[in-house]
């Protein structure tokens, strides 16, 4: 998942679906500011190509990223040459400092395979918060919201390239398997590739428990950037 071919078309295809990273980052920053006035540092976990991080870097005195997929991380580093983008796994990263806020957006936490993995990730993120710091996590679907056999199709047209995406999603136990096929056309010809995304259907109660056990109060905000909601926690004094 998240190899070089996908990294190259990632933002184009999601822009065609109406995704607005700038608006989302500003909304998240507002949520953080309401809970921690004066928040001046943020870590964006699973920052991808740095689309949110590029906005966070204008809204916080310090903004850093963490990304496990090398092709995505390289694009983030190219985009933000003065910004630190750490290589790391959200389950067990240790940066040696804390932040006013930590974000984990666009359902990245859903890529973790087990409940223990998800709980470890929430714990690692909470451990990088100052007392009173804010943790914002956008979940994947809850089990009751998943649609078996869901098919999506998108077309992104750019000046020198057209990208088509079609996906089909099925469920096996707690896992959702999304097969995504891309067709990319440009002056060099037409290329095709397939990505298989496996995401886990954690329950709302499981997320809440992970937050509270990591020392954070937690609230769930309906809707959120992609209709899946947002978990917002505040780190309790240690």
pLDDT tens for the chain, 238 residues long, are 688 999 999 999 999 999 999 999 999 999 999 999 999 999 999 999 999 999 999 999 999 999 999 999 999 999 999 999 999 999 999 999 999 999 999 999 999 999 999 999 999 999 999 999 999 999 999 999 999 999 999 999 999 999 999 999 999 999 999 999 999 999 999 999 999 999 999 999 999 999 999 999 999 999 999 999 999 999 997 6
Q: Which CATH class is domain 4-142+202-235?
A: alpha beta
CA 125/CA 137 separation, integer angstroms: 10
pTM exceeds 0.85, yes or no: yes
Stretch(es) of the chain classified as CATH 2.20.130.10: 144-200
What are the distances in angstroms from CA 209 to CA 115, 158, 206, 230, 232? 11, 44, 5, 15, 13
Q: Residue 142 in contact with residue 204, Cβ under 8 Å?
A: yes
Location of structure tokens 């056990």: 213
The SS3 of residue 195 is strand
Angle between helices 4-16 and 70-79 (to 10 degrees): 60
Return the CATH architecture of domain 144-200: Single Sheet (2.20)
């Amino acid at each position: 998942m998240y190899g070089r071919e996908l990294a190259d078309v990632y933002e184009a295809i999601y822009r065609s679906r109406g995704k607005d990273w700038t608006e989302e980052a500003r909304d998240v920053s507002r949520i953080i500011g309401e809970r921690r006035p004066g928040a001046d540092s943020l870590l964006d976990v699973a920052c991808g190509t740095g689309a949110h991080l590029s906005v966070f870097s204008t809204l916080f005195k310090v903004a850093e990223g963490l990304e496990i997929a090398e092709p995505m991380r390289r694009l983030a580093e190219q985009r933000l040459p003065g910004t630190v983008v750490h290589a790391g796994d959200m389950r067990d990263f240790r940066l040696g400092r804390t932040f006013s806020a930590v974000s984990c957006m666009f359902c990245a936490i859903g890529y973790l395979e087990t409940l223990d993995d998800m709980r470890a990730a929430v714990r690692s993120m909470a451990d990088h918060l100052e007392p009173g710091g804010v943790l914002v996590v956008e979940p994947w679907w809850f089990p009751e919201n998943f649609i078996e056999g869901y098919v999506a199709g998108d077309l992104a047209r750019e000046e020198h390239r057209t990208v088509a995406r079609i996906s089909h999603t099925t469920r096996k136990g707690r896992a959702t398997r999304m097969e995504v096929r891309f067709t990319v056309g440009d002056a060099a010809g037409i290329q095709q590739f397939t990505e298989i995304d496996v995401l886990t259907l954690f329950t709302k109660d499981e997320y809440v428990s992970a937050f509270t056990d990591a020392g954070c109060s937690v609230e769930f905000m309906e809707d959120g950037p992609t209709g899946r909601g947002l978990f917002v926690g505040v780190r309790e004094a240690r």
